[in-house]
Amino acid sequence: MSSLNLDDFTDLIERPDGGVRRDAEARRERRSVPPGSLGRLDELGEWLAAAQSAVPVRAIERPRVVLFAGDHGVAGLGVSARPARSADRLVRSVLDGASPVSVLARRLGLPVRVVDMALDCEPDTLPAEVVRHRVRRGSGRIDVEDALSLDEAEAAFRAGVAVADEEADSGTDLVVLGDLSVGGTTAAAVLIAALCGTDASVVTGRGGLPIDDLAWMRKCAAVRDALRRARPVLGDQLQLLAAVGGADLAAITGFLLQSAVRKTPVILDGVVSAACALVGQRIAFRAPDWWVAGQSSGEPAQAKAFDRMALEPLLDHGVTVGEGTGALLALPLVQAAAALAAELPEAPGPEAATAGTPDPEAATATAGAADPGTSDPEAVESEAVAATGTAGVVESEAGTAGTAGAGTAGSEAVGPGSAEAAADPAAAGTGAAAPEAADREASGR
């Protein structure tokens, strides 16, 4: 009987901070770019903000690739395009920097960690830090026997928990998760079919290195036979992993759950990590909130698992190589989302938007300051009166000329005074009295 109580994870795992996510959404609405114009990048930025409990979101500065490795006995049935017991070659390729995930990680400046859980090779052929968590040499053939004993399954699960703690303690702020296995997609298909209640043919795919039709038929038969062994233990997830999983799958499940406990976001890769995530969801229903689906590998079982967990892959480029490559390709997208959420400026608010609108009173005051002669309302009125007086003088002059005929002297006496009053605003008062003087002169004549 196992001493591991998986129910504890239900209490230990909390959802990402909903209040912070709402704050991130409100910040997004205030940004200078139109709402919705960044598509899923907005959603990713808000997910990261909630996971970090920080607005604005912090940049992803210390991501890491973590790959769990293991051989599966079911590969001996010819269900994989790779030879059985050859997963150690994949590990050496990664360690030598010759695999796709190694090339991408080197380009992005990420460290890659490989954890051997059940490679079918001598442990001294690999570095000590790779093999120190190994549970056994290869997992059992799941169509006819258990992959692990219950004690081995618990040891593998605890190893995954320990790796998650080590990563969190070292400051890793996001994990790109993958696997290095031969026969692993067969075990993953069995787990997903068992948990989703579907048939073998619905979940059986072609694998990372595509197989031919005959190999697919053998794989489908192996999944069908393993399903018969899985259904009786569906109520106990650790027993399920022991029966039809494997040491690497049990470790990945423990890693995912403990990463959620430690609030470390994880990018999932292919069908193997999807199957372990589905087992993790059955153990702790809030756990998938800490994971994001990196890519669609084309495996039908992966699509089934992601749909059950309501996870939508970020990428769909037909990458089937595995090894965490697809998840690593999604990392720049997540980093871009964090950068945009943190660094895009906010749009001007209502106050800033009206700051450039001229104030009528201020405009009047400014105009008055620019023209001292019209800044005083009384002066303006006097100027208007002066203008009226000038017009009256001109009219009177015209009238006098008409009455006197050739009264040129009188016109000359009046004319210069009127012109001077009109030209000089300071003489506005004299100009205002001009009509009376003109009347008296006309009467005298």
Give the E-state strand segments of 147-258 in sequence order: 174-182
Helix (H, G, I), strand (E, B) or coil at 318: coil
**Gap between the Cα atoms of 359 and 369, Å rounded:** 15
Strands 63-71, 174-182: parallel, antiparallel or unpaired by DSSP? parallel
Q: Is there a cis peptide before residue 100, judged by omega within 30 degrees of 0?
A: no
Cβ within 8 Å of residue 116, ≥6 positions away = 69, 70, 91, 123, 126, 130, 131, 133, 134
Q: Is 323 a catalytic residue?
A: yes
**Gap between the Cα atoms of 266 and 177, Å rounded:** 7
> Of 317, 320, 307, 79, which is closest to residue 200 (Cα–Cα)?
79
**Gap between the Cα atoms of 76 and 91, Å rounded:** 19
The residue annotated as part of the active site, out of 46, 167, 299, 323, is 323
3-state helix, strand, coil in the chain (%, to 5): 60, 10, 30
Residue pair 47/55 in contact (Cβ under 8 Å)? The answer is no
Give the E-state strand segments of 240-349 in sequence order: 266-268, 291-293
**Tokens encoding 53:** 């409990």
Helix (H, G, I), strand (E, B) or coil at 306: helix
| CA distance from start to end of the chain | 138
Catalytic residue ranges: 323
